[in-house]
A and B are shown apart, each in its own frame.
Chain A
């Protein structure tokens, strides 16, 4: 799957989980850029992404992501 398409689908997941239709993601987006995105909602996002793409991240992968771009790379590599 193309990274652009992954990004679009991940953006929809973010909007749905964080209940904010205004969210626009880029590779550089970090938790500080989105008010609703904190350590708690982060896990909800991870679970939703895993379910949607039918993949499983390792704990280290989840804890290492520094921005959305790294999450997208990780999904693309699965």
Chain B
């Protein structure tokens, strides 16, 4: 059920009414409403995975309780390892098992050893990468005494299956449960701001990302890239914006729904295309995943490798980013995508730029100074190359695409009106986001006092979304 569908709107209105006007400020009833909505949404997508979601929630709840009760360090460590292995095992089984089987068969085949392999008929449960990460962080945080084991199963199950986030994140941490342990009263300002953020996300998804998809998919369906190089270059740039508009649009909508229910969902994007280098980009892109991996993979590795100096840090970052890539699915393109980004960090670590978090200097008209504009552009181009690898079916296809940009004439353009329409929409959204870059989202209108102007903006966006909407497509990240 897409956020942009009438059915989701109906679900949301029902949840909202029950949550505030039936459950009132009683937290248990409010949590029951949220849990029911989460399980309904999950079951609506695929009923057969509901028992898995419920079962794994029960297992981690009791694992957490056991860890909370034990005073024995060794027992706590064993339970922590069990929790991590179970979570990773589920991911490996559902996401990567067939990939490993095929990869090993190919490896043996390349050595002249013919191996008869049978792949398994495994269907990946929706959102598994997201809720498993929530569960793993729960047991690890208990082990590290960063959170306490909860006795409130309802709050725990609601945290795991919070309905706006269950399919594609953001990945909240166990701290989210604190919000579920008290009643939430109707807060007009939060509800209005949540609706605005939802609307902004819908604009990015429906009016921009879905329209770009038409331009991008036409190129990638072909067996060979026969289009002019300039056309391929523009398509690659458009795909970067499609990814951003799609996923940040989804995230804005999920966070917006959370706000309307008085719940703060983890931030997922902080205007990543204004990043001045790749390290800065990764601090701003899919933040809930990257911060998760930073805390639970990069930091432990970095601690382990701490006496190796810069080499240790580089190794930890490369491993971390390869895992970021692999998290997306069972294709070597994702691993190469992560490795590519990991390698881009090396010059930043060696030069020390990695550690600097300077603000962008702006000049006349609030635009970035020439030096920062150049750095932003370079970062965007490097990210675009990475996303070509990400988008391709195979690493070979990615290189073929990149080579075709130059061999087919990089200055040769023949753009169609739909391209210009997309470029115009992207330009408008990015201008608004540049202006709003120190705020939570593009439609935070706290600086505007005139209600007439506010409603005119809402109406204009709704109208624009309706006019530009194409056939509803699913969110890209829902497949991960």
A interface residues, Cβ below 8 angstroms from B:
35, 38-43, 46-47, 59-60, 62-64, 66
A9 to B230, CA, bound (A): 59
Answer yes or no: B313 CB below 8 A from chain A CBs. Answer: yes
Chain A residue at minimal CB-CB distance from B143: A60
B145 and A64 contact, CB distance less than 8 A? yes
1/0 per position for B338-357, CB-CB distance to A under 8 A? 00000000000000001101
**Chain B hits for A63, CB < 8 A:** 144, 299-300, 303
Bound state CA distance, A45 and B330, in angstroms? 38
Chain B 295-307 near chain A by CB (<8 Å), digits 1 or 0: 1001110111011
> Does B146 count as interface, using CB distance less than 8 angstroms?
yes
Q: Give the nearest-CB partner of B294 in chain A.
A: A39
Knowing A39-B294, A47-B307 are in contact, say whether A59-B354 is a contact too (CB < 8 A). no
6 sampled A-B residue pairs with Cβ under 8 A = A39-B302, A41-B355, A42-B299, A46-B303, A60-B144, A64-B146
Contact B355 A59 (CB under 8 A): no
Instruction: Please name 13 further chain A to chain B contacts, defined as beta carbons within 8 Å, in addition to the given A43-B302, A63-B303, A66-B146, sorted by A numbering.
Output: A39-B294, A39-B295, A39-B298, A40-B355, A41-B355, A42-B299, A46-B306, A59-B304, A60-B144, A62-B303, A63-B144, A63-B299, A64-B146
Known contacts A41-B355, A64-B145, A66-B146; decide if A47 and B294 are in contact (CB<8 Å).
no
Residue of B nearest to A40 (CB): B355
- For B, the interface residue count at a CB cutoff of 8 angstroms equals 17
Q: Are A40 and B146 in contact (CB under 8 A)?
A: no
* 8 A Cβ contacts from B214-236 to A: none
Q: Point out the residues of chain A lying under 8 angstroms from B357, CB to CB.
A: 35, 38
State the CA gap A38–B354 with chains docked (Å). Answer: 12
Establish whether residues A40 and B300, one from each chain, have CB atoms under 8 Å apart when the complex forms. no
User: Are A59 and B298 also in contact (CB < 8 A) when A40-B354, A47-B306, A66-B146 are?
Assistant: no
Residues of chain B within 8 A of A59, CB atoms compared: 300, 303-304
What's the least CB distance linking B65 to chain A, in Å?
21
Q: Which residues of B contact A47 (CB under 8 A)?
A: 306-307
A43 and B306 CA atoms in complex are apart in Å by 7
